[in-house]
């Protein structure tokens, strides 16, 4: 039933009113409907999230007008830029503090725009602060079994992908005995083995690893399409998460880069994705 909340702040002077309006516009606030008549002026500024804090007893050591932001340092630079664009008189009247930590797990800076008009900008140090409630997976593989299907073709690449996947699993708490590795001739055979493992229902997830190089086969696209389709179909029809670590590259050098040389290890990334999806599925099913 409640749609929003508005806090009305009286600004003591026209000078402060104009400065505050100018700063909010410079920072990109969405403007609401204002008014201007013989009794005074009003300006509305809208934010995605509003908050009304009620206090009693000791007054808080923060400005009465606080703006929560992300990327506080970028906002600080924007306020500095806005001040630099003001007249010399306005700059001398304004007072900008440095960004500093608070005792309430955040960072804050303030700017005095006029006598009695202080504005504070802050950012929470808690990465989950004000995030919408959502089901998210944990990166814990402890107590879960995982299977890895890896192609022998281009072993110089696939062995690197395999080591990346094992590294991710073991770092996430998976015991060595809880990982089953199945080697198949090439990428074409991966979906069949992955499907068999998934249908056994013995594993929380299946990681698929292989590599296809365009220069080695004239039917590169056809093979890749069927491999991707087979792995995706296995995941959808069995309900077991599958990590996709089948590289598709133009050259051997590109594949080496994606197997840990320069651009990260796609085997590691595929394993991390499977661990998270296994956790999500368990939570959705009410198992953890």
Residues of the binding site:
153, 187-189, 211-213, 216-217, 244, 258
Residue 129 annotated in active site: no
Selecting among 103, 170, 219, 242, the annotated active-site residue is 219
Residue stretches of the annotated binding site for (2S)-2-hydroxy-3-oxobutyl phosphate: 216-217, 258
Closest C-alpha to 123, from 166, 69, 175: 69
Cα 170 to Cα 275: distance, rounded to the nearest angstrom:
11
Residue stretches of the annotated binding site for 5-amino-6-(D-ribitylamino)uracil: 153, 187-189, 211-213, 244
Give residues with Cβ within 8 angstroms of 227, minimum separation 6. 187, 188, 190, 191, 210, 212, 246
The DSSP bridge pattern shows strands 95-96 and 65-68 to be unpaired
CB 259 within 8 A of CB 162: no
DSSP 52-77: -----SSPPSS-SEEEE-SSHHHHHH
For residue 13, the surrounding DSSP H or E stretch is none
Give residues with Cβ within 8 angstroms of 16, minimum separation 6. 113, 114, 115, 116, 117
What residues are labeled active site?
Answer: 219
């Amino acid at each position: 039933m409640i749609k929003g909340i508005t806090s009305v702040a009286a600004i003591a002077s026209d000078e402060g009113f104009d400065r505050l309006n100018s700063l909010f516009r410079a920072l990109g606030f969405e403007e609401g409907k204002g008014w201007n008549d013989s009794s005074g002026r009003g300006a509305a500024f809208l934010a995605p999230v509003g908050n009304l804090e009620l206090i009693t007893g000791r007054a808080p050591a923060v400005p009465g007008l606080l703006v929560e932001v992300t990327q506080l340092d970028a906002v600080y630079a924007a306020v500095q830029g806005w001040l630099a664009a003001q007249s010399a008189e306005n700059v001398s009247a304004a007072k900008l503090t440095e960004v500093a930590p608070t005792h309430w797990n955040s960072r804050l800076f303030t700017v005095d725009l006029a006598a009695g008009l202080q504005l504070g900008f802050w950012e929470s140090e808690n990465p989950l602060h004000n995030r919408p409630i959502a089901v998210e997976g944990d990166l814990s593989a402890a107590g879960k079994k995982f299977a890895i299907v890896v192609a022998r073709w281009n072993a110089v690449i696939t062995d690197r992908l395999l080591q990346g996947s094992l590294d991710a699993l073991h770092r996430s708490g998976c015991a060595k005995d809880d990982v089953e590795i199945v080697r198949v001739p090439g990428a074409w055979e991966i979906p069949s083995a992955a499907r068999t493992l998934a249908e056994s229902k013995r594993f929380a997830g299946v990681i698929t690893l292989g590599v296809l190089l365009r220069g080695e086969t004239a039917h590169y696209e056809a093979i890749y399409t069927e491999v991707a389709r087979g792995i995706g179909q296995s995941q959808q029809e069995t309900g077991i998460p599958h990590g996709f670590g089948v590289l598709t590259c133009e050259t051997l050098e590109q594949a080496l880069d994606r197997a840990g040389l320069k651009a990260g290890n796609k085997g590691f990334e595929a394993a991390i994705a499977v661990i998270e999806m296994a956790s999500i599925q368990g939570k959705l099913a009410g198992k953890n």
